[in-house]
Structure formats: C-alpha cells, structure tokens
Amino acid sequence: MDSPKSVSFRFSCFICLILSLLPHSTKSICTRPPLIFNFGDSNSDTGGLVAGLGYSVTSPYGRTFFGRSTGRLSDGRLLIDFLCQSLNTSFLPAYMESLGSTFSNGANFAVVGSSTLPKFVPFALNVQVMQFLHFKSRSYELLASGSEEMINDDGFQRALYMIDIGQNDLSDAFAKKYSYAQVIKGIPLILAEIKNAIKSIHDNGGRKFWVHNTGPLGCLPQKLWLVQPSSRDVDPQGCISTYNSAANLFNEGLHQLCTKLRLELKDATIIYVDIYTIKYDLIINASKYGLKSPLMACCGFGGPPYNYNINVTCGHDGAQACDQGSRFISWDGIHFTEAANSIMASKLLSQQYSTPSLPFDFFCD
C-alpha cells in the first residue's frame, strides 16, 4: 500500500515531468526581477563614461528617445536598452552613476572606449571585472549590516553576465598602423582577456553568460573616412575588407573560446551571439529594413559619401545631424542609431543568432 506521502510524491513528480516536457520557449515571464551585469565598451555604455570621467556628451546625442543626453553614444536606445525592455525591467544603471541609481536589477560596467588591453587602466575589461568584485563585496557587507535590498549569493548566481568587447582592441591596433598580420597576431591576447573575465566571474558565482561578438569594423563611416582610398581594399559593399576579415577572425576565435569554456565550466551556460551577421545584414540589406545610407553618418560633417570628419564630430561645433526620422544606420560614424538598434534587438531576440539557441530570457526564473 502506498502511503499518502508517496502518492503525493508521485503526483508531484508527474507534474514536474509534464513541466519538463513543455518547450522552453513557452517560458516568457520572469517571476523574479531579472538581474544583469554588463561589461563592455560604447556599444553598451548607458552612462559610464559621463559618470566616471565627467566627460560631456551633448545634444543631439539622445534626441530621439530620451530627449536629452544620457551619456549613450546614440540618438536613442542601445541594443542593451531594448534587451532590458524585452524583460520589462528598467534600463541598466551605469555602475559609476552614484546619484539616483538603485542597482536593483544589476549594474552596467561598460564604458566608452574600453578595450581588453592594456589591462589595469580605466576602464579595461579586467578593471570592469574588478569593479564588479568590489560591487559584490560591498553588497555582502551591506547585507551583513542588515540592508535587505542588496543582491545576495543567490542573486549573483542567477544573474546574467553580458560581455560585448573587442571592437576597440581591433580598432586601436589598426589606428597604430599595425599591419594586418600584426593585428591578427594580437587576437589571441584579446581572447585570453575575455576568457579571464568569464572565469573570474564564474569563480565568483556567475553561471549564465551572454557573449556578443564584434560587428563589421570595416563598414563604419569613421574607418572609411580615416583609411585613404589608395591604401585600402574594399569589398563589393564598399567596406574595408581587411578590417572585416580581422573582425571575422576575432569572432571565430571567440566562438571557439565559448565552445571550450562550455566544456571546462560544466555548470555554466555560455551563449555566443552573432552580432556581426545581424549588423552586416542591416548594412548590406539596408533598404529591406527601411534604413538608408548605410555607410554614411547621420550626425557629422562633410556630407556624402561618409559625412564624417575627425575634427568636426557629432556633438561638436559645426557638426550637423540628419532630419529626425530619416532612418540612418550610423549615428555618428561609429555608433548605431536607435532605428538600427531596434531592428538589431528584434533579430537578436529571434534566437537565430545565438549558440546554443536559447531565448534571451533563458536566465529568468
């Protein structure tokens, strides 16, 4: 005879079996507020440079969505903002923004201009990770002294850790006039830093990682303006082939790194996200998305073909912005517009570009 206890045990196991058979994609609600920690450069900086160095980012930055400059290098929301909105959580506060930030849904350590190397300078990836470790130990101190709002062990473990870095490492190497071969030679060093960051966060309880690869560097209006037509090889789309090849090689290495780390850190989920393909498609097939002038900055100086001049950049005297609503891809020659970021977000949320193919909210519970 079964005791009532074992019957109820069997019944609840039946329920958990049914639940485990339901497709993962039916889960789309976070029952607990999502927690995100982000590391990176201007592609995901939501105010770090402005808060950390007092640097001013002025109008027309921010004109489309916020109606004021927030320190984001775009006219509006960044990809990370759209990702937060998809989870119904507030925009991620910059870690160094001390006024008005509660950090109840995590913190953003990304800062404009950051790269992985050199280390130990503001705000290299390893410095951002050190800031995270400080954030974590302060949270524990405050918890121990009775504060209830702080993130605890469980929170750090269930949080999502996002990384989007590498673009400036490649860009800086080309800017130093390194040969293509020298730039390529540096890629394993960049990847080693990303590996260190993931392992260090994992050592500190992180289990869920979302890693963006880097976009087509050779299609940025700034690069097209900087590199003289005589000294560059251009692909049929008008982008610089060597720059894009370097980005592709970095991405292949990052993909392999994620595969290796999945074997090494068996209790971790590491998702590699192909931002390159999303961005390249937007640039090549701009008109399909209702976007225009893919190789020209909306805000800058000089007019076609690139509307970029290093002495008169967006936000400075003499620079001019395209009409509101004109749906450019490039905002200032380096960073994408809100219109492009919004399309990128919906493509990213489709799961087609993630390996393994998990939905962005996979870490919610």
Ligand X SMILES: *[C@@H]1O[C@H](CO)[C@@H](O)[C@H](O)[C@H]1NC(C)=O
Residues at the contact surface with ligand X, assessed by CB under 6 A: 28-30, 87-88, 280-281, 284-285, 309, 311, 361, 364
Rounded to whole angstroms, the Cα distance separating 47 from 57 reads: 9
* 42 labelled catalytic: yes
- Compute the least distance from the CB of residue 225 to ligand X, in Å: 9
Residue with tokens 């970021």: 341
- Compute the least distance from the CB of residue 31 to ligand X, in Å: 8
**CB distance 225 to 308 below 8 Å:** yes
Measured CA distances, 192 to 72, 186, 243, 254, 362 (Å): 28, 10, 21, 10, 26
Nearer to ligand X among residue 209 and residue 289 (C-beta): 289
Give the active site residue among 335, 342, 354, 361: 335
Rounded to whole angstroms, the Cα distance separating 266 from 243 reads: 34
* 335 labelled catalytic: yes
- Compute the least distance from the CB of residue 309 to ligand X, in Å: 5
- Compute the least distance from the CB of residue 288 to ligand X, in Å: 6
Nearest residue to ligand X, using CB?
281
**CB distance 331 to 220 below 8 Å:** no
Nearer to ligand X among residue 198 and residue 364 (C-beta): 364
- Compute the least distance from the CB of residue 202 to ligand X, in Å: 25
Residue with tokens 């392999």: 256
**CB distance 299 to 331 below 8 Å:** yes
The total of other beta-carbon atoms located within 10 Å of residue 209's CB is 23
Which residues does residue 38 pair with via DSSP β-bridges, in sequence order? 108, 162
CA dihedral 301, 247, 162, 281 (to 10 degrees): 70
Nearer to ligand X among residue 71 and residue 333 (C-beta): 333
- Compute the least distance from the CB of residue 283 to ligand X, in Å: 8
Nearer to ligand X among residue 89 and residue 131 (C-beta): 89
Token pair belonging to 69: 């400059």
**CB distance 296 to 223 below 8 Å:** no
* 2 labelled catalytic: no
CA 236 to chain centre: 28
Give the active site residue among 41, 274, 332, 361: 332
Length of the chain as a residue count: 365
Residue 305: cis peptide before it, omega within 30 degrees of 0: yes
DSSP 8-class letter at 152: -
Nearer to ligand X among residue 29 and residue 99 (C-beta): 29
- Compute the least distance from the CB of residue 268 to ligand X, in Å: 22
Nearer to ligand X among residue 51 and residue 87 (C-beta): 87
Vertex 311, ends 299 and 244: CA angle to 5°?
65
Side chain identity, residue 348: L
**Residues labelled catalytic:** 42, 332, 335
